[in-house]
Structures are given as C-alpha cells and as structure tokens.
Structure 1
C-alpha cells in the first residue's frame, strides 16, 4: 500500500484509496483504483472481442507499457520490479492510454550494491501472448 500511494506516472493506474479489515478470514483489503473505461488489452485481443486493436494502437500500448516499466525500474528513488506483465494487467483509459495495473507480485528492486533480486523462476503464457499479439 505504501508504494502504491506514492507512485505516480501517466502509465500506471492510480490508487484512489483502500480499506483494510481484520476479521475471522484474516486481513481483508479493498483497493479502489481510477476507472479505466476501455477495459484491459486482453479484452481487445480475444477473438470474442468486437473492437480489436489496430496495429498502430498495439504499438502505442506496447510503448505506454514500456514507459510505465521504465519508470518503475529506473526513474524512481527506489526500484520496483513489476513481475506480472500480461495483457489483463494493462488497462486502457478513456483516451486509450495504456496503464499497468495489479502490483500484487511487485517487489522492491535490488538493494544498494547488489545487482539482482532473487526470485523464483516463472514462465508465463500470458507474457508470450502479449508479445505475440501486441508487438
């Protein structure tokens, strides 16, 4: 929550607010993000979609997502590794600008003097679909 509250970039979904409640099921959280009326990139790539993205729009989406990643990885005072890049986590605002969402798997980058973050190896067919369908 602390990171999401201070991160601000045109290609990252804004966190509007949240609440947390500890009950018999454990800590329950509700996150409220800015409204993204055009849904996710995934919504516009599926064969069931009535409004698929044109090739110029797909390139714009890829560039917007890259700008968001660059900000997280290189331009903040501390590094955030976005580990869940997939078409359903790239949302589209009213002007069709792409914004990264779902920071559930995000991690702080390497500490000063270290060159990497130790994480489990993951494969993702969603990432492959992103590169296949968007680029």
Structure 2
C-alpha cells in the first residue's frame, strides 16, 4: 500500500487525530510503501526544525515504510489520470500531481493507496477500489 503525505504526517505526529487510525490500518499491511516524492514532502517540516527532528522523522519513516523511487511509468500514469480529470471537466487541482503519483503507483504496482483526503475525485478516475481513506 502506498501512503500519501497526510498518512505519513499522521504516523509521525502522535497528536494528529488520524495518528491512531493510520497506524492501526498500516499495521495490517504487509508492505507499506512511500514514494520518494512523498517522503521529501513530509521531511520539509523536519528540515525546518533541525537535525534532531530530521533524524527522528527519518528513523520513523524508514522503519514504517519501504521507500520507492519514482519511475517513468508512475509519472506517466499520474499525468494520464490528471488528463482524464481535465477531459471530464474536473479541475485537476482536486488531485495535485504529488497525490496523483501516489494513486498512479497503486495502479502501476497493482496495489492500493492510503490517504486522509476525502476530496480526491475517485469516481471520476475509476480508481475507487484502489484507495483507502483514513
């Protein structure tokens, strides 16, 4: 299962209201994964806080998830998904590129994506069965 930024942040922040549901759901997953782009986005806050926070966040993320580098197929699939939204008259801003890459990774790797974002246009993308919302 590929996680989006909201899930990764919830895992890092015990005060986040979605921390427990996210950790509980991930505990049932044999292979939780995080895209390198998501990892980078999550780490911005750690880098802003300093070396101690960087080490802590890196340790937690690297323990919780296998990091997967982006490849051409995932990026092209993400672009295709966003293009599909535009053809249907749906604002592509409803699924930013970083989120589209998480969904695309799930499609390419025949897996699921986990998010905290209930606004993703899942029906329009025909990927509802691939997404778990926490």
- With the length of structure 1 as denominator, give the TM-score of the two structures: 0.31
The structure with the largest strand share of the pair is: 1
Relative contact order, higher structure (CA 8 A, sep 6+): 2
Larger radius of gyration: 1
